[in-house]
Amino acid sequence: MLEDFLSQLEMAAPQIVLGLVNGAFYALLSLGLAVIFGMLNVINFAHGAQFMMGAFVAWMLLNWAGIPYWGALILSPLIVGVFGVVLERLMISRLYKMDHLYGLLLTFGLALIIEGVFRNSFGSSGLPYAPPAALTGAPVDLGFMMLPKYRLWVVVAAFFVCIATWLVIEKTRLGAYLRAATENAPLVQAFGVNVPRMVTLTYAAGVALAALAGVLAAPIYSVNPAMGSNFIITVFAVVVIGGMGSILGSVITGFALGLVEGLTRVIYPEASATVIFVIMAIVLLARPAGLFGRA
């Protein structure tokens, strides 16, 4: 009996670690979504496309400008973030006074256009992007499995970015302004804070987080136009389960659902694409505001 359990555990332990790696991506992406929704009340359906752009910009930086991975890690989110500023100023800002659905439709349309443009220019099967030399080589021996160095780096990096974002929003003066502006924008503006600019920069920051996740994903997954849309549906489920707009909720749920998905891949792999949505349905029935959301 105990032996059975131990051998099961031996099978499951590596999957738990891999689940954490995927959870890191879910957490990073849902973090950006939560920031944008929490502060702007916009459901950013273009998030997957912006994740994909992050990966593509990293590829372009390497192949067209010779800038390696570490440079891309900073430059790509900045470039895609600027794209976010343009998008917010030109289009999204016009929809703040209207129902959520309009923002959703607009960003969904934008996502389709961006994906289509990349598909026409680069094809659908993707482009190669090698991990940086420092993170290749022999996988790290964890005792029960061999984990590639790069995946370990992804978990660590994602974890710290999540903590940093949470700290900025919950513990700094800037974060306090942001939260205040969400509650009552005219009042905050009356105190002399430039609220529209702050909102624009918040959107850009959310977009940059997506792009950062894209750069992190580029060496693991094929850099292809559909890479974002494969992720985004799952990530929306993560945000819904965690509670729309709850930053801590989206991070914890992201990692947790990565784990659940990883375990499903061992127990019943055919259901691994569905399990998150089953959980979402149950959570919505039991707690419509999500696990960490405020009703």
Partner 1 sequence: MTLDRRAILGGAAALPILGAMPFRSARAQANNTVKIGVLTDMSGTYRDGCGPGSVTCVRQAVQDSGVTGRGINVEVLQGDHQNKPDLASTIARQWIDRDGVNVIIDVATSSCALAVHGVVKEKNSIMLNSTGATADLTGSACNPNTIHWTYDTWMLANSTGGAMVKAGGDTWFFITADYAFGHALERDTTGLINKQGGRVLGSVKHPFPGTTDFSSFLLQAQQSRAKVVGLANAGVDTINCVKQAAEFGLTRRQKLAVLLMIASDVHSLGLQTAQGLSLSETYYWDLNDRTRRLANKVKGDMGGAMPTMWQAGCYSAALHYLKAVADMGVEKAKASGAETVVRMKAMPTEDDAFGAGSIRQDGRKLHPSYLFEVKTPAESKGPWDYYKLVRTVPVEEAFRPMAEGGCSLVRT
Residue 41 as a binder of partner 1 (CB under 8 A): the answer is no
CB of 162 to partner 1, least distance (A): 19
Q: Pick the closer one to partner 1 by CB: 132 or 139.
A: 139
Q: Contact with partner 1 (CB under 8 A): which of 65, 123, 134, 184? A: 123
CA distance 205 to 208: 5
- Min dist. Cβ of residue 102 to partner 1 (A): 8
Which residue among 74, 113, 130, 176 contacts partner 1 (CB under 8 A)? 130
In the complex with partner 1, which residue's Cβ is closer, 128 or 288? 128
d(CA 258, CA 238): 10
- φ, ψ dihedrals at 46, nearest 5°: -80, 5
List all residues 6 or more positions away from 143 whose beta carbon is below 8 Å from its beta carbon: none
Binding residue for partner 1, selected from 125, 133, 173, 183, defined by CB under 8 A: 125
In the bound state with partner 1, the residue whose beta carbon lies nearer, of 259 and 291, is: 259
Q: Which stretch binds partner 1 (CB under 8 A): 35-43, 72-80, 119-127, 174-182?
A: 119-127
Residue with tokens 């549906």: 233
Q: Given candidates 262, 279, 283, 290, which one binds partner 1 under the rule CB under 8 A?
A: 262
Binding marks (x or -) toward partner 1, 230..249, rule CB under 8 A?
A: xx------------------
Using rule CB under 8 A, residue 148 touches partner 1: yes
Specify the amino acid at residue 188. Answer: V
Q: Looking at 158-166, 192-200, 218-226, 280-288, which segment touches partner 1 (CB under 8 A)? A: 218-226
By CB under 8 A, is residue 4 in contact with partner 1? no
Write down the least CB distance from residue 46 to partner 1, Å: 17
Considering the complex, state which of residue 145 and residue 193 has its C-beta at the smaller distance from partner 1. 145
Q: How far is the CB of 115 from partner 1 (least distance, A)?
A: 8
95 lines the binding site for partner 1 (CB under 8 A): no
CB 244 within 8 A of CB 40: no
Q: Hey, what amino acid is at 104?
A: L
146 lies in the site for partner 1, by CB under 8 A: yes
Segment interacting with partner 1, rule: CB under 8 A, options 47-55, 116-124, 167-175, 189-197:
116-124
Residues that bind partner 1 (CB under 8 A): 11, 14-15, 18-19, 21-22, 102, 105, 116, 119, 123-128, 130-131, 138-139, 145-146, 148, 150-151, 220-222, 224, 226-227, 230-231, 262, 265-266, 269-270, 272-274
